[in-house]
Amino acid sequence: MTSTDHGIAAAWPACALGAWAAAWIAGRCSPDDVVDTLATSADLHIVDDRTDGADTSHTGVLALLGRLRGAHGLSVRLPVAGDPQGLPPGTATAAALAAGEVLLVDDGRATPLALIPAEHDGSCRWTVLRYDAEVPLAPSRSPGDVEYELRQAVSSATELITRVGTRSSTAPADLRGTLRTLTHRHIVELPPHDDARITRIIATAAQVEAIVALAADGVGIGDTAGQWSAGDGELRRLVTLTHAARSAAVNRLITEFLPPAP
């Protein structure tokens, strides 16, 4: 299945790669499963390896898996302005902030690799960099706390979409169709696993982020400057929350496949 089959490319390729690569390393899926999943993000994947003076470019998901073979640990971060999710300043973090996501790879060296995707015209270019210093562990979040915060966020997002619907000239049916499409785009397809809460968190984060994307798309969230400022602040808060929740859920799944060394 390709991204064209969906009509719209799936978002969050670093999350998909992290989850499926962990399953592959653990022997829980085949390389073809990883290839098929990432095809929903882009028809073509290009690996631009800038580590160790390599500066080489290879094509295909299998080239990505070659960089991940034998990894001791994986972790996704979805940094946004004001919440770098523990990433230290530097070239790799600047690229991760621009992309909104990064897959960190512990390959046994002193500092981790950073795989950073950038989508353009049906392709996804993965820049591979190495951090100059150790990267702190991601802040630990209880799945229960994350799910509770997301449930609260649904209420805020519902108020936003109600305001969008009353102010927009777009037909309600068209708004609902756009919302369904955006929600589908933000769902991260995960390998088979046993934690239903992870699936719920991923689905709820996709729903909230779809509403945020629709509200931020110039549809309108207020008439006065004060209303616009308050609405924009709420959008930023919801984006930060959904990114933190999605990364926490995917990282919990990764540790299900690749438990940390004792």
Q: What is the pLDDT of residues 157-195, one digit of tens each?
A: 877 777 665 555 566 677 788 889 999 999 999 999 999
Question: Would the pLDDT of 120 be above 80?
Answer: yes
Token pair for residue 150?
């997301």
Arithmetic mean of pLDDT, 6-30 = 92
Give the whole-angstrom CA distance, residue 92 versus residue 149: 29
State how beta strands 73-77 and 56-59 pair: unpaired
Instruction: Return the percentage of the chain with pLDDT > 90, whole number.
Output: 59
Model confidence at 228: pLDDT above 60: no
Q: Which of 69, 61, 6 is nearest to 32 (CA)?
A: 61
Count Cα neighbours of 182 within 13 Å in the Cβ-side half-sphere: 19
Residue 261: pLDDT above 60?
yes
Q: At what angle do helices 196-214 and 172-186 cross, to 10 degrees?
A: 130
Mean pLDDT of 85-108: 95
Q: Where are the beta strands (DSSP E) in the chain?
A: 44-49, 56-59, 73-77, 102-106, 113-120, 123-130
| pLDDT tens-place string over residues 217-227 | 754 444 333 33
pLDDT-derived band at 88 (thresholds 50, 70, 90) equals very high
| pLDDT of 153 over the 80 cut | yes
Where along the chain do its domains lie? Answer: 3-139, 143-247
With bands split at pLDDT 50, 70 and 90, how would you rate the model's confidence at 54? low
At 10 the pLDDT is 92
Least confident window among 26-30, 123-127, 158-162, 248-252: 158-162
Average pLDDT of span 30-44: 96
Q: Residue 165 has what pLDDT?
A: 54
pLDDT bucket at 122, cuts 50 / 70 / 90:
confident
Quote the CA–CA distance of 44 and 58 in Å, as a whole number. Answer: 11
pLDDT at residue 224, as a whole number: 35
CA 237 to chain centre: 16
Q: pTM for the full model?
A: 0.88
